[in-house]
Chains A and B, each alone.
Chain A
């Protein structure tokens, strides 16, 4: 590495040899010589990272017009962005990023042509956060494209983007986006401080960033929000939050986040507001069901039978008669089997995965019931728990419920409902103690922010949500100036008969 820090040698051939030595073995490194009336040199690039057509055009222009129009390669092709580098390491870095490096004899520097065309997929529909209505685009693995997708929605000079270079072996770019004048300055300072602490050899995915800047380093609950939808990012920026993107990752991190945000879906904002209330209520119910349902079933069967109405109790008890295992073993076994099926369905190729799920749920479940290994009630409960967890919009929360249901089943098997309740209070205490970049995790419910309740369980119509969320302590409290709002309401009042 020490050699690479040196300044350029006198001849282009020497420089090319040193670059080749640094990269060798490197079969995709291409080298071509060029000469004009005044200058000679070499041009280097890495095959596959460079736009070949534009490179050829630039080379032709360099060879043909360089003689009388300019003294160096810098001004030869107006359509190409260029840059001058003075160290070998900078030239190598530029090569690896997909630039062509133009070396000239007797120059002691190199000209970098920004011709990169790094392989990337096209912008596609969001697969992890699908919605029926609203925008459908999702981020891809190229940072520049992702930033552009945010910019095209937020055409304001107040959208600010700061970049950080992270990675010792392979430097990658992270971008921090925020809306100036909306976001709290303390939050920006804190995000910058945490970003500066990231130490990795390379950034494979935004998850590495997340684990470095996360609030409690060990918590099953997601204290950052992950999204692949640019529309969601823009909405978050306008709420006074900060977005973090990484080059190479199709996911954006949003901070801070609260528990309630994990239960709201982008769909809530794209359909009629009256539908959001029942759907959100359902999701809250499903969150607790996905954590507690197997535990409640175990508690009701082993300790608290008195809670069940008699006809239901008789039916459940009859189902369970003849099962050779205690209810808790039956429940744990079924839960593990369900998790295995879920994992198999995710990991296998899509076509096979679906058939595994169907075979697993229908055939194995049915066979297990017929063989008298599990009761039909338990199959229903465990699969209902799985379905409940699928209704949660945030994947991080789904993972949390998958983990949490096991201790609850154990607590139920030891102390029935009392055990579930005690563990539940401890869990609630833990959740209440969490913070995401200074914002209490259970806000706006605990601590209570009455104004922010407009977007927790209910989703108020847009014309009622003129203020930005108080919980993020934004600089600007209103989305539109209050005067305009009163004008509008006055107009509406006058307009009414």
Chain B
């Protein structure tokens, strides 16, 4: 089996979380607080810590197994598969959410006359192709894109920083702690817990034992990048950031340099589209592994087509508009993800630990 390196894994995780992070998270955070928004960005780190703890238990108890395989190992073929189906539902709902976020964003910002379902169809088709080519190829596409983003991001940052005004952050730490915490809930429990998809790739990791550290590294990088972006967005846009769905888009629109450098927003949208397709591909890979485990199939080449088809269908059906989507992310996703990728796997590992302890106790007596 082709395996990926630590560097590749960290890159995939960063793009997976920041893919939607650079679109919606600043807006979500700004709804709750402006002054302490930068602290709330570190909620992402809290999510990464939870995922790292789960990953630590996983690689100790189930080296070389995916999360869904571990569930079947612990709970048996019937209940294990039931958890697998629960995980599949999580994967499909997340894919649908990402797909809908993408189609809405592209539709609103670049192609207003094209139906959203068509935009989503193209994104799902391309991500399906990437997931068909495999985890290693997705990792390489990530590696190829990194130098470009490393070149472009500082330029955008420098162009935007001239418009920065620190007044929205004054007085420093002026909002109550509860506001900062509530702003951090979505980064921590909705986006931060997405790091857990790496558990589905454990057999494909060259060094699975370092997975917890890799998640922490990716989480720290994401948190710092998000904090910088949120600070910049609020500093440039000020109070209106509170009411915008896509404040970063407005931030990029605000950038102007002379008569020639303006209207960079389309380029930003295209950059976001790349990260979103990679995020979709990453989720399809994770879901594909779950489908493989639940169906007991040795092959994974038949999986991408139905997975992408279902993800696309759900993205059109579940969320009729952006309001449905935002509401779902704010009201339901945090606890849904917490249950699915932290509490239930935690329970699995506890059962496994008990089983092993029992086996050890029985062993000396025999």
Contacts and interface: CB of A to CB of B under 8 A. Distances in A.
A428 B141 contact: yes
A79 interface: no
Contacts of B273: 418, 421-422
B129 A304 contact: no
A452 to B, nearest CB: 13
A418 B141 contact: no
Question: Interface on chain A toward B: helix, strand, loop, or mixed SS?
Answer: helix
Interface string A300-315: 0001101101010000
B126 A415 contact: no
A430 B106 CA distance: 24
Contact of A309 (B5, B139, B259): B259
A446 B265 CA distance: 28
Interface string B253-296: 00000011011011100100110011000000000000000000
Interface string B152-165: 00000000000000
B144 interface: yes
Which bucket holds chain B's interface residue count?
Answer: 35 or more
Interface stretch (B82-90, B130-138, B188-196): B130-138
B180 interface: no
Contacts of B274: 421, 425
A425 B106 contact: no
B122 interface: yes
A309 B147 contact: no
Which bucket holds chain A's interface residue count?
Answer: 20 to 34
B60 interface: no
Contacts of A159: none
B144 A442 contact: yes
Given A421-B274, A440-B140, A429 B7 contact: no
Contacts of B278: 425
Nearest to B8: A447
A417 B266 contact: yes
Nearest to A434: B137
Interface in A433-461: 433, 440, 442, 445-448
Given A418-B122, A422-B122, A429-B137, A446 B144 contact: yes
A432 interface: yes
Interface in A402-426: 415-419, 421-422, 425-426
B123 interface: yes
Contacts of B260: 309
B114 interface: yes
Nearest to B261: A309
A429 B262 contact: no
B339 interface: no
A411 to B, nearest CB: 9
Contacts of B7: 448
Given A307-B266, A417-B270, A418-B119, A432 B111 contact: no
Interface string B186-216: 0000000000000000000000000000000
Contacts of A429: 126, 129-130, 133, 137-138, 141
A365 to B, nearest CB: 28
A426 B133 CA distance: 10
Nearest to B144: A446
A307 B261 CA distance: 10
Contacts of B259: 309, 311
B351 interface: no
Contacts of A304: 110, 266
A430 B267 CA distance: 23
Contacts of A442: 140, 144
Nearest to B130: A429
A429 B127 CA distance: 10
B181 to A, nearest CB: 38
B266 A306 contact: yes
Contacts of B8: 447
A311 to B, nearest CB: 8
A415 B259 CA distance: 28
B239 interface: no
B133 A447 contact: no
Contacts of A428: 141, 144
Contact of A306 (B126, B130, B263): B263
Nearest to A429: B130
Contacts of A440: 140
B116 to A, nearest CB: 12
B270 A433 contact: no
A311 B262 CA distance: 13
Contacts of A309: 259-260, 262-263
Contacts of A303: 110-111
Contacts of B130: 425-426, 429
B143 interface: yes
Given A415-B111, A425-B130, A425-B274, A445 B143 contact: yes
A428 to B, nearest CB: 5
A418 B106 CA distance: 8
Given A309-B259, A415-B122, A418-B273, A425 B141 contact: yes
Contacts of B139: 446-447
Contacts of B144: 428, 432, 442, 445-446
A432 B263 contact: no
B135 to A, nearest CB: 11
Given A306-B266, A425-B130, A428-B144, 20 more contacts: A307-B266, A309-B259, A416-B110, A418-B111, A418-B119, A418-B270, A421-B273, A422-B125, A425-B126, A425-B274, A426-B130, A429-B126, A429-B129, A429-B138, A432-B140, A445-B147, A446-B140, A446-B144, A447-B8, A447-B139
13 contacts: A304-B110, A306-B263, A306-B265, A416-B111, A418-B122, A419-B122, A421-B273, A422-B123, A426-B129, A429-B133, A429-B137, A446-B139, A447-B5
Pick the 7 closest A-B CB pairs, nearest first.
A446-B143, A446-B140, A432-B140, A446-B144, A433-B133, A433-B137, A429-B130
